[in-house]
Amino acid sequence: MVRGKTQMRRIENATSRQVTFSKRRNGLLKKAFELSVLCDAEQLKNEAASMVKRIELLEVAKRRLLGEGLESCTVEELQEIEQQLERSVSSVRARKVDHHDLDHIKLKFSRNKFSGSKKRYSFSRLLQQEKTLVAENVRLSKKCGAQPWQGLKEKEKEKEKEKEKEQPENSPNSEDHDDHDSSPTSDVETELFIGPPPARRTRRLPPPPN
């Protein structure tokens, strides 16, 4: 059988973790002994010393960034540490703003999605209500023996006829006609005379001079 590849992650079981550590530690010590025998021991010692120095420098830089061990630092070193800290703070703030904007965009998108689904639901509900009302109107119209919307059209026609009737009554010609009819011409007295007409006196004109 082919042995599966070991996944590099922490072993949860404490007993298994301790056993694995002991085996790997013994294997590392064995490999180090083999390297010291096969290769020059002085070269391995120098590499180990160089690695120790690098680790010490990293520790010193870490303490300085944390504000510790600054007594031996010069003004230039302090300024450099300050600039490095400012760059670090700016980077952290920018990352924080990016996370905040991303969360805001996600929240806005979820709200718009919910609002859009709610509007679609309201529109579909209104369409369903319209269909229900139209079907109810058709059913009632068939039951009454009339066509759909016929009752509404008849009411509109009746209103138009009433308006046409009201217009002549309110026109100025009708008022003049009423005033003429109500004038006192009907109260004039007339007399009827039977017989020859009365004689009229004629005036003779003088003859013209010669």
Residue-wise pLDDT for 12-29, tens only, equals 888 888 888 888 888 888
Residue-wise pLDDT for 156-183, tens only, equals 777 787 777 776 555 444 444 444 444 4
pTM attached to this predicted model: 0.30
Cα(65)–Cα(77) distance, integer angstroms: 11
pLDDT confidence of residue 168: 56
Percent of the chain with pLDDT over 90: 0
The arithmetic mean of pLDDT across residues 113-129, rounded, is: 71
Percent of the chain with pLDDT over 70: 66
